[in-house]
Structure 1
Amino acid sequence: MELQSYSNKSKNPIDTDEESVEENNSLKIIPYSEENAAIWDEFLARAPMATFLQTRRYLSYHADRFQDVSLIIKDEKNRLVGLFPAAVDPSNSKRVVSHPGITYGGLLHTGNLRGAKMLEAFKALRHYYANHRFESLRYKVVPNIYHQVPVADDLYALFCMEAVRYRCDLSCAIDLTNRLEPSLRRKRGLKKALKNEVKVDFGFEFAGHLWSVIEDNLANKYGVKPVHSAKEIIHLYSLFPNNIEFVVGLYETQVLGGVVLFVSPQVVHAQYIASSPKGYQLGLLDAIFQKCIDKAKDLGKRYFSFGISTENEGKYLNTSLYQFKSEFGSSGVVHEFYEMNLGG
């Protein structure tokens, strides 16, 4: 399912079994169940801060890894006004995370949870989880570049609820309407790639070859495996062919590197970036990123995101990686993480 541009004009009431409903002020909190999956995704398609990562279709691919405690929020007229994707923290059974299986979670709405209503929603969430014997809630803020309209009311509500920012990652992105000048090094890299006749191509048929490069790259540099296995990323592509794209750099028909793009209404995001040593020598990534940036513009997106350059929950900045990404004309974007005590 490809998320469409934000619109708050259409109505989408939800008829849900009222068992297990908790009322807090004028809002009702209902635990998510699988029969609400289609309604969840339909509502999400109109939420101006949402991407396909928060859909039930995406979350379902690794649902067996998490104990889901997502919530549906309805108003006093029984209308669906908000969604909260969440699961129990695998490392702490007393903590809720929104959401441990995705980069960001958030309290998702179509414009009805603003100002005092957002604060009321957070109080209702706290009350619900506290009543179910959870002690804390970790909240992954949706980075502002994904917002189709300004929707930072949740940050104010977190402040009012005395939530503490426990983590902050530094990412970077190009504003495609006002791109900073790429560095001379990146311009030279692109010229080198063109001189070496590096070819850039897009297509699912390259997924297997690209995954081999990604696995080797991560193992050699960091001693880790990709977040997604080859089987998982292929499955995700089958669910979201309009949101996931494989881009490779070819030299004499050999795949030497590439990126996996996640496409959302505002952003084209490089989820994976990898090159073989030979690819670096040829300026492979410079050619690949130029093609990707051009494509993001053609799609009418606002940002091209390179992802985070931080480790150890944001405490360590990989300065060489961040410099490499910033040299394409990008600048800083933060990913914020808050924790809220549920007692009191």
Structure 2
Amino acid sequence: MNSYKIVKYASEHYVIWNEFVAKAKNATFLFHRDFMEYHSHKFEDFSLLIFDHKEKLRALLPANIFENNLYSHQGLTYGGLVLDENCKLSDVLQINYQLLKHLSEKGIEKLQLKIIPTIYNNLPSDEMEYVCFLLDANLIRRDAIAILDLSNKIEISRVRKRGIETGKKHQLKIKEEATFEAFWNELLLPNLKSKYNTNPVHSLKEITYLKSKFPNLIKQFNVYFEDKLVGGVTVFITKNVIHPQYIAGNAAFNTLYGGLDFLYQHLITTVFPNEKYFDFGISNENKGRNVNESLHYWKESFGARTIVQNFYEIETKNFDQLKSVLI
């Protein structure tokens, strides 16, 4: 086994961390420290940098710690081991051996992984799925994500076409906005409060801060009917994927105006026609055990099809199971 040095992240690693993320084969801007640290007060960061024997950084683990568990990171939608584009399978096996051995010796009993969905990778990178198999990792959750392949679009359903035509009939206008205040205060917050008695993951202050750090990667599109705000969407843009992070509208937005159909079709065909994938998100409840059928069907009626995101629980004491894999 090759030797690797594992170092806990500190502020002095800010530059090298972000430079690595920018070139990694399975990373997005969500792993940039400016994104991770907007909610640093909510989590005890335990992110790790993994160097080889030549002091070359080969992998990162964005993570937080809670009790005796290490999580890849609870404040992020996806995570896992972030890899150098030159990392081979043998490297990943040896890195995981050293990583889990290190964690076990530190008294950390379990590593909770939420694997990054394959469409977000810049290169093929399913090494961690294979590692989880070798370690007898416990699959604790699996989400079904509706993905539209923008280079191989399936024709949308007649129902969606009617919604789009309704939006055109009402002469809905879609504008990219520089700020989030109107959408957050008039639509998103009231909707989430009335329907689910909850708040968005990001406060208005937080999303505004993130926009200032990633101005080309976080965008707001509002929908207007006769100059009145009736709906909107906050979009996260990665190298391969467009993902609506928040969507909200008033009571008439869909029922009368066909607003959501019209808005999504506008994003897909006009704003982001040359991107690879459009991520409609999950339709799951109960840790993936249930699917909101009507919601998932709505996404599929745009031509989206399903991929999965896996969540694993690894017992760190199993690190020895990786020792004899390579023959």
TM-score for the superposition, normalised by structure 2: 0.93
Segments of 4+ moved more than 3 angstroms: 295-298
Stretches of structure 1 that go unaligned for 5 or more consecutive residues are 1-23
Partner of 2:266: 291
For residues 52-76 of structure 1, the C-alpha deviation after alignment (integer angstroms, 9 at most, x for no partner) is 1011110110112111111111111
Which position in structure 1 is the counterpart of 2:251?
277
Q: Quote the residue 1:9 is aligned against.
A: none
Q: How many residues align?
A: 316
Q: Tell me the residue number matched to 1:87.
A: 64
Q: Find the counterpart in structure 2 of residue 72 from structure 1.
A: 49
**Alignment pair present for 1:37 and 2:14:** yes
Partner SS for 1:328: coil
Alpha-carbon distance in structure 2 between the residues aligned to 1:66 and 1:148 = 28
Shift of 1:132: 1.3
Deviation of 1:114 after TM superposition, in Å, equals: 2.1
Q: Is the 8 A contact 1:83 1:109 kept in 2?
A: yes
Q: What is the deviation of 1:106? A: 1.5
Mapped pair 1:142 → 2:78: no
Q: How far, CA to CA, are the matches of 2:164 and 2:308 in structure 1? A: 28
Amino acid aligned to 2:104: A
Cα pair 1:246 1:260 within 8 Å, conserved = yes
**Take 1:234 and 1:202, find their aligned partners in 2: how far apart are those partners?**
15
> Identity over aligned residues, as a percent?
37
Distance 1:53 1:195 in 2: 38
The question of whether the paired residues in 2 share the 8 Å contact of 1:200 and 1:287 is answered with: no
What is the TM-score with the length of structure 1 in the denominator?
0.89
C-alpha distance in 1, partners of 2:175/2:261?
14
1:53, 1:112 → 2: CA distance? 21
Instruction: State yes or no: 1:196 paired with 2:170.
Output: yes
Larger RCO (alpha carbons 8 Å, 6+ apart): 2
The 5 Å alignment of 1:1-344 reads 25-89=2-66, 93-205=67-179, 207-212=180-185, 213-280=187-254, 281-295=256-270, 297-298=272-273, 300-344=274-318
User: Per-residue deviation at 1:219?
Assistant: 2.3
Question: Following the alignment from structure 1 to structure 2, what is the Cα–Cα distance between the partners of residues 77 and 308?
Answer: 42
Q: What amino acid is aligned across from residue 72 of structure 1 in structure 2?
A: L
One-letter amino acid matched to 2:260: L
- The separation in 1 between residues aligned to 2:214 and 2:236, in whole angstroms, is 10
Instruction: Indicate if the aligned counterparts of 1:113 and 1:121 stay in contact, CA closer than 8 A.
Output: no
Give yes or no for contact 1:170–1:335 (8 Å, CA) kept in 2. Answer: yes
RMSD: 1.4
Q: Any conservation in 1 of the 2:85–2:123 contact (CA below 8 Å)?
A: no
Kept in 2: contact 1:296–1:304 (CA 8 A):
no
Deviation at 1:314, TM superposition (A): 1.4
List alignment gaps of at least 5 residues for structure 2. 319-327
Aligned residue identity for 2:252: K
Shift of 1:150: 0.8
Per-residue CA distance 1:250-278 (angstroms, 9 max, x = gap): 01111111111000000010111112111
Native 8 Å contact 1:163 1:339 kept in 2 = yes
Aligned AA (1:275): G
SS at match of 1:151: coil
Structure 2: distance between partners of 1:324 and 1:218:
20
Offset, 1:162: 1.5
Per-residue deviation, 1:198 = 0.7
